[in-house]
């Protein structure tokens, strides 16, 4: 629901921006934007600060916790020792909730884990003050006013409309449906332009961005489908159920893409599966999403 | 994707289960927990292979006396010189200089401590990497 109201779904392919030396693809909007949009649309006001001093950042955290408020923190996954080692990259946009302190350790609810866990003072400082791309600068936030009743309907319509606009109408061919087509066209040329190893690494990065933890599978497409179903019930608009069905099918095609790409990475692909095939699947996804969002754009209350 | 088709390929996630959204028999979405999926495991393994190669190359260089342990820890922590510079407050140029074994050998305790803190190790470990 939050993902949908915040218009989280997106696509961008930025070949000139490199992450670990590989071009960036993203299946969602920028970190922090969902949050901002949801707060605006539901009328929740948040208090949010960043810090220059590590000690001050931790003191402020302690004070807020003493008031009994859970606090959202922006952290880097690299410094969170409780996560599986394989996921710990320098990724500075991981949000966790700290809800208390016991015996000098902070109690954490991390969206990646099923159970709450604990973290040391020192580790938390490191995670909050990681460096690199988009440094978190100790950012912390908590809600100050939450309206007692919320009318979800206008917020849902706004969320869906904006997603459709984002996907269809950004006049730069790197984003939305055009971005998917751009990736499809570029990907075809990877085996010619790059040596085999690099081409495979490029592919691997796309798979990871699509299927990593938190995406719900299929590059957030399934989460969006689930949102549309909820939206359909809220708004009493049954046609959204059918669109949700189409979104699910498209998500399945994205999964097919990742599966075939994985086979190429492993060197197991038969001659029938090539970069050309992958490109074709992506083109199909682009066409399907174009149709979906053209329909969704017309949504009214 | 349907609920009973959600893959359970144990791998990179090391037992952490993540949530996938899948549809039940009526086409309604539910959350399903999964241990991972083969393509994602492949992609993750592949990235770590590259990182480990870099670390190993750095290790060999240090052993051969062609670089200081700084390079090894830099690669091991997946940092760039720019990030290390921000973490330690030591300039990029000086870090590059300290990558040379001869310059590294002359570092004072204070600078060593700064580096060690950035790598989350002790100064002694920094001097003698495994």
The pLDDT of residue A273 is 67
Q: Distance, in angstroms, between B111 CA and closest chain A CA?
A: 19
Distance, in angstroms, between A47 CA and closest chain B CA?
Answer: 27
Nearest to A282 by CA among A177, A208, A205, A141: A177
Q: How far apart are CA B114 and CA B118, in angstroms?
A: 6
Q: Where in chain A is the domain with CATH 3.90.70.10?
A: 45-145
pLDDT (average), residues B90-109: 95
Q: So what's the ipTM on this one?
A: 0.88
pLDDT score for A269: 61
- Three-class secondary structure of residue A37 per DSSP: helix
A216 → closest Cβ in B20, B37, B42: B20
Alpha carbon distance A153, A300 (integer Å):
10
Query: Measured between CB atoms, which of A132, A213, A252 is closest to B1?
Result: A252
Number of H helices, E strands in chain A: 10, 8
Q: What is the DSSP string of B9-45?
A: --STTTT--EEEEEE-TTS-EEEEEESB-HHHHHHHH
Please determine, for residue B5, whether its predicted confidence score (pLDDT) is greater than 80.
Answer: yes
Alpha carbon distance A218, A255 (integer Å): 5
**pLDDT grade for A270, boundaries at 50, 70 and 90:** low
- The answer to whether residue B23 neighbours chain A at the CB level (below 8 Å) is yes
Best probe of the B interface among A120, A216, A224, A252, by most B CBs < 10 A, is A216
Largest CA distance in chain B: 71
> What is the pLDDT averaged over residues B95-110?
95
Residue % of chain A over a pLDDT of 70 = 98
| Six-digit token string for A87 | 């996921």
pLDDT digits (tens, 9 = 90+) for A121-174: 999 999 999 998 889 999 999 999 889 888 999 999 999 999 999 999 999 999
Q: Taking CB atoms and an 8 Å limit, are A126 and B120 in contact across chains? A: yes
Closest CA to A41 of A77, A1, A78: A1
- The Cα A208–Cα A73 span in angstroms is 24
- Of A49-63, A148-162, B6-20, which range is least confident? B6-20
Q: What is the pLDDT of residue A48?
A: 92
Task: Give the mean model confidence (pLDDT) for residues A296-300.
Answer: 93
pLDDT (tens digit per residue) in A215-226: 888 999 999 999
pLDDT tens, position by position, A88-130: 998 898 999 999 999 999 999 998 888 899 999 999 999 999 9
Domain ranges for chain B, please list them.
3-36, 57-127
Across-strand partners of A100?
A107
Distance CA B20, CA A90 (A): 24
Q: Residue A272: its pLDDT value, please?
A: 55
If you search the block for the tokens 């609810």, which residue do you land on? A109
| Predicted confidence band of residue A18 (pLDDT cuts 50, 70, 90) | confident
> Checking DSSP bridges between strand A9-19 and strand A22-28, what pairing results, if any?
antiparallel
Q: CA nearest B90: which of B67, B72, B74, B66?
A: B74
* H/E element, A134: none
Q: What tens digit of pLDDT does each residue of B30-58 get?
A: 989 898 899 999 999 999 999 999 999 99
Query: Which residue of chain A is at minimal alpha-carbon distance from B48?
Result: A86
Residue matched to tokens 């998500």: A251
| Tens digits of residue pLDDT in A160-192 | 999 999 999 999 999 999 999 999 999 999 988
CA distance B95 to chain A (A): 16
Q: Which two tokens stand for residue B117?
A: 């803190």
CATH fold of A45-145 reads Cathepsin B; Chain A (3.90.70)
User: Could you tell me the end-to-end alpha-carbon distance of chain B, in angstroms, rounded to an integer?
Assistant: 47
Distance from CA of B121 to the nearest CA of A (A): 12
pLDDT in the model for residue A267: 81
SS3 A221: helix
CATH number for the segment(s) B57-127 = 1.10.260.40
Q: What are phi and psi of B106, to 5 degrees?
A: -95, 5
Mean pLDDT of chain A: 92
């Amino acid at each position: 629901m939050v993902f949908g109201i915040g218009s989280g779904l997106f696509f961008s392919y930025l070949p000139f921006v490199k992450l670990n030396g590989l071009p960036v693809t993203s299946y969602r909007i920028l970190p922090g934007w969902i949050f901002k949009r949801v707060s605006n649309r539901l009328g929740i006001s948040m208090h949010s600060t960043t810090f220059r001093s590590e000690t001050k950042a931790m003191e402020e955290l302690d004070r807020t916790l003493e008031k009994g408020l859970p606090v959202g923190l922006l952290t880097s996954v690299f410094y969170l020792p409780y996560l599986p080692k394989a996921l710990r990259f320098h990724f500075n946009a991981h949000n966790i909730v700290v809800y208390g302190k016991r015996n000098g350790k902070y109690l954490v609810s991390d969206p990646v884990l099923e159970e709450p866990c604990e973290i040391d003072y020192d580790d938390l400082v490191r995670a909050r003050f990681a460096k690199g791309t988009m440094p978190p600068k100790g950012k912390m936030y908590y809600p100050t006013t939450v309206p007692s009743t919320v009318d979800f309907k206008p917020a849902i319509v706004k969320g869906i409309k904006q997603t459709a606009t984002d996907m269809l109408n950004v006049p730069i061919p790197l984003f939305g449906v055009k971005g998917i087509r751009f990736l499809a066209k570029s990907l075809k040329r990877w085996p010619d332009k790059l040596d085999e190893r690099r081409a495979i690494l490029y592919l691997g990065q796309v798979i990871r961005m699509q299927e990593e933890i938190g995406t719900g599978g299929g590059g957030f497409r399934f989460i969006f489908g689930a949102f549309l179903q909820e939206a359909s019930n809220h708004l009493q608009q049954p046609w959204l159920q059918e669109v949700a069905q189409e979104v699910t099918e498209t998500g399945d095609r994205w999964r097919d893409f990742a599966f075939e790409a994985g086979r190429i990475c492993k060197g197991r692909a038969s001659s029938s599966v090539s970069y050309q095939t992958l490109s074709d699947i992506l083109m199909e996804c682009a066409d399907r999403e174009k149709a979906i969002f053209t329909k969704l754009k017309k949504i009214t209350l | 994707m349907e609920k009973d088709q959600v893959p359970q390929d144990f791998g990179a996630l090391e037992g952490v289960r993540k949530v996938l959204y899948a549809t039940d028999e009526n086409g309604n979405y539910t959350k399903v927990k999964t241990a991972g999926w083969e393509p994602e495991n492949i992609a993750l393994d592949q990235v770590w292979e590259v990182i480990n190669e870099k670390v190993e190359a750095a290790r060999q260089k240090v052993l051969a006396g062609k670089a200081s342990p700084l390079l090894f820890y830099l690669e091991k922590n997946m940092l760039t010189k720019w990030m290390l510079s921000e973490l330690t407050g030591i300039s990029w140029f000086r870090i590059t200089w300290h990558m040379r074994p001869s310059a590294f050998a002359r570092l004072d305790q204070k600078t060593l401590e700064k580096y060690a803190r950035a790598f989350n190790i002790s100064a002694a470990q920094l001097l003698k990497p495994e």
